[in-house]
Amino acid sequence: MTFSETGLNKNIQKAITDLGFETPTPIQQESIPYLLENETDLIALAQTGTGKTAAFGLPVLHKIEVERKLPQAIILCPTRELCLQIAKDMESFAKYTKGLKITAVYGGASIMPQIKSLKSGTQIVVGTPGRVIDLINRKSLRLQDIEFVVLDEADEMLNMGFKEDLDTILAETPAEKQTLLFSATMPKEVMRISKNYMHNPKTIEVASRNEGAKNVEHHYYMVNARDRYKALRRICDVNPDIYGIVFCRTRRETAEIADKLMQDGYNADAIHGELSQAQRDHVMGRFRKRKLQILVATDVAARGIDINELTHVINYNLPDDNEVYVHRSGRTGRAGNKGTSIIIAHSREGRKLKSIEKMIKRELTLMKVPNGDEICQIQLMKLIDKVVSTDVNHQIDKYIPSIEEKLAHLDKEELIKHFVSAEFNRFLSFYKNAPDLNVTGSKGNDRNDRGDRKGKRGDRGERTGHAEAGHTRFFINLGREKDMQAHNLIGLINECTRNRNIPVGKIDIMRKFSFFEVPKDFETDILSGMVDSNWNGNRVNVEVSQAPGVKSPRGGGNRGGGGGRSYGGGDRKRSNSGGGGRDRSGGGRSSGGSSSRRESSTSSRRSSGNSSSFKGRFNAAAKRKRRD
Ligand code: AMP
């Protein structure tokens, strides 16, 4: 079937030709002719990447009466990013449809321009539920004339707690309308919505919704749980051109992994629900423009990311629901590109791997975590390729005679060795004697956890080691249990030391306490600045750690005092729970305390040299203990 056979009007056809769409995708082949000919409701099981926006967007656009300057279609979706994406897609479909207006309404942005746009006679509204309700309550948005309701990513809207909001909005719409529900999965709650609000809906499902994209390879690495991060680093190191998403399960883990990657000099950042809208936009903007190679994300935050060129999706931790794995992996291998979905699994996840294989009807391929030699070879060749492809800048010509004189005693081979070593020695020493991270364990079979338990002991031992040369290792009485994360700790250090930009080295966040290292010169700054300060309502106790023994977590109160300085932490809970728009997709929820700490941690990170090149990476990493 071609687009010209679908029955869409000429203006729409012209616009999609401009977009380079040649043939309708399977979901479009089913939905477009059906929606053009029928007025009954429709349920479509489709994931992002299947062309679902055009599947509902084109027929809705075709049916809009442009002369009627009032909202005739409302498209509801879970996040601001998706909302903007849909509105952008609809704008391009409507490029030649004169007089048609589309308005995107979402939280975390000023409401006034949205009200203005609605008043100007818009026919299609794309919105997130919270903001739509705000606008209804302000009487700026009237749904009495709605003829089409689209619920996009219905499952995700319900996951995000928009159930009541959806009920409220749907109750505002007229009984006579066409409701289109698009969802990747069909959990009970989505069934309920369809039962309550839809009439004899036709269901379409393209291919098998769980199989995932065909041009995605599925790989897994088997390591001890404690080695996940090390394995992630190696995976990134053997894929120097990676452009991908690392999926974590929680916001905390997302922030922690992104922090570690940044501290280790990778071109990475995080996106999760705790960031303010402005921060999320900033990160997303950089990722879209490929200024950022690695995005560490939660599933919800990654919704609406519509990038066709991702090379990798990495499951740092597997989701509970296998369908979520299918979603994640479907973010790569799009638009004819090849992609790789990677699972960093541990030895007790064998059964889980088997169940994923069953769902995707494909085999997961066991890959070996590369060893130091393999990584060095790949990185070295990348360096050499870069040297070869670098354009020579002839401004240097005038220096050549004196350079030649200085290098005269070296023959070609020695010269190469010197140049490569100057760039590469840190990398080589990082991976020198790097241990094998692979563990045995097979799909369908969960190894008992002896390895891991043993691992944990080893982990502890590692964490109690001596500080890096020239560094002092400090004990601090705050750990994971108190919500302390690496970025919080860097922020706290920054603030307590009046932003002297102390280059923070290795950080180990434990359950009840943590360790961090800074160059010896800053020892007194740390002690005088941090002792008796306050974080998140906890008095801070910092002491020089007596390696190799673990500093016992005696809790606060060493040097009397109390009532020390507070660095915004105490406010965090308050501002998180109060205020803010009701729209989970929007910002306005970010707390002053946490975001200011985040900003300061970012600047501290950057001050310690964040660069995508391995040289930059190792300039940063040189400041901390290197052990892999
Ligand atoms: P969606 O599932 O709506 O997020 O669409 C995924 C991607 O496929 C977007 O980049 C669309 O622009 C693109 N797309 C949608 N329909 C077609 C088509 N028929 N031919 C080529 N690309 C398409």
Does any ligand 1 atom lie closer than 6 A to the CB of residue 269?
no
Q: Which domains does the chain have, with CATH numbers?
A: 3-205 (3.40.50.300), 216-371 (3.40.50.300), 373-430 (no CATH), 455-627 (3.30.70.330)
Helix pair angle (569-577, 592-607), 10° resolution: 130
Whole-angstrom distance, CA of residue 274 vs CA of residue 250: 11
Whole-angstrom distance, CA of residue 272 vs CA of residue 360: 27
Structure confidence at residue 545 (pLDDT): 82
Give the confidence band of 442 by pLDDT, cuts at 50, 70, 90: low
Q: Which atom of ligand 1 is nearest to the CA of 28?
A: 19
Q: Which atom of ligand 1 is nearest to the CA of 46?
A: 2
Structure confidence at residue 446 (pLDDT): 64
Structure confidence at residue 444 (pLDDT): 66
Least reliable range by pLDDT among 125-139, 307-321, 369-383, 608-622: 608-622
Task: Answer yes or no: is pLDDT of 69 > 70.
Answer: yes
- Residues 78-104 have a mean pLDDT of 94
Does any ligand 1 atom lie closer than 6 A to the CB of residue 48?
yes
Whole-angstrom distance, CA of residue 428 vs CA of residue 405: 29
Ligand 1 centroid–CA 3 distance in Å is 13
pTM: 0.48
Does any ligand 1 atom lie closer than 6 A to the CB of residue 423?
no
Tell me the per-residue pLDDT of 333-344, one tens digit each, with 9 for 90 and over: 876 678 999 999
Range among 253-267, 509-523, 531-545 rated most confident: 253-267
Q: Which atom of ligand 1 is nearest to the CA of 85?
A: 4
Does any ligand 1 atom lie closer than 6 A to the CB of residue 337?
no
Q: Tell me the pairing of strands 124-127 and 102-105.
A: parallel
Structure confidence at residue 121 (pLDDT): 93
pLDDT > 90 fraction of the chain, expressed in percent and rounded: 41
Task: Answer yes or no: is pLDDT of 347 > 70.
Answer: yes
Does any ligand 1 atom lie closer than 6 A to the CB of residue 24?
yes
Does any ligand 1 atom lie closer than 6 A to the CB of residue 147?
no
C-alpha 159, offset from chain centre:
18
Give the per-residue SS3 of 542-565: EEECCCCCCCCCCCCCCCCCCCCC
Task: Answer yes or no: is pLDDT of 408 > 70.
Answer: yes
Q: Whose CA is nearest to atom 22 of ligand 1?
A: 21
Looking at per-residue confidence, does 166 or 331 come out higher? 166
For residue 22, give the DSSP letter: -
Whole-angstrom distance, CA of residue 585 vs CA of residue 599: 21
Q: Whose CA is nearest to atom 13 of ligand 1?
A: 51
Does any ligand 1 atom lie closer than 6 A to the CB of residue 52?
yes
Looking at per-residue confidence, does 64 or 581 come out higher? 64
Whether residue 617 contacts residue 383, with contact meaning beta carbons closer than 8 Å, is answered with: no
- Residues 502-531 have a mean pLDDT of 85
CA within 13 Å, CB half, 235: 33
Tell me the per-residue pLDDT of 386-400, one tens digit each, with 9 for 90 and over: 889 999 999 999 999
Tell me the per-residue pLDDT of 50-62, one tens digit each, with 9 for 90 and over: 789 999 999 999 9
Least reliable range by pLDDT among 191-195, 223-227, 304-308: 304-308
Task: Answer yes or no: is pLDDT of 416 > 70.
Answer: yes
Q: Whose CA is nearest to atom 16 of ligand 1?
A: 51
Ligand 1 centroid–CA 49 distance in Å is 6
Does any ligand 1 atom lie closer than 6 A to the CB of residue 47?
no
Does any ligand 1 atom lie closer than 6 A to the CB of residue 306?
yes
Alpha-carbon separation of residue 194 from 34, 127, 446 (angstroms): 18, 20, 39
Does any ligand 1 atom lie closer than 6 A to the CB of residue 224?
no
Ligand 1 centroid–CA 55 distance in Å is 9
Q: Which 3 state secondary structure label does DSSP give 175?
A: coil
Task: Answer yes or no: is pLDDT of 86 > 90.
Answer: yes
Structure confidence at residue 627 (pLDDT): 35
- Residues 501-508 have a mean pLDDT of 80
Mutation probe of ligand 1 site: the residue of 29, 53, 180 with most atoms within 8 A of C-beta: 53
Looking at per-residue confidence, does 299 or 244 come out higher? 244
Task: Answer yes or no: is pLDDT of 610 > 80.
Answer: no
Q: Which atom of ligand 1 is nearest to the CA of 53?
A: 3
Whether residue 80 contacts residue 107, with contact meaning beta carbons closer than 8 Å, is answered with: yes
Does any ligand 1 atom lie closer than 6 A to the CB of residue 53?
yes
Mutation probe of ligand 1 site: the residue of 21, 22, 79, 95 with most atoms within 8 A of C-beta: 21
Tell me the per-residue pLDDT of 154-185, one tens digit each, with 9 for 90 and over: 988 888 888 899 999 999 999 999 999 999 87
Does any ligand 1 atom lie closer than 6 A to the CB of residue 50?
yes
Tell me the per-residue pLDDT of 3-43, one tens digit each, with 9 for 90 and over: 988 899 999 999 999 998 888 888 899 899 999 999 999 99
Tell me the per-residue pLDDT of 522-563, one tens digit each, with 9 for 90 and over: 888 898 888 788 888 888 888 988 654 343 443 333 333 333
What's the mean pLDDT when you consider all of the chain? Answer: 80
Ligand 1 centroid–CA 43 distance in Å is 19
Task: Answer yes or no: is pLDDT of 571 > 60.
Answer: no
- For 180, phi and psi rounded to 5 degrees? -115, 125
Q: Which atom of ligand 1 is nearest to the CA of 21?
A: 20
- Residues 423-439 have a mean pLDDT of 84
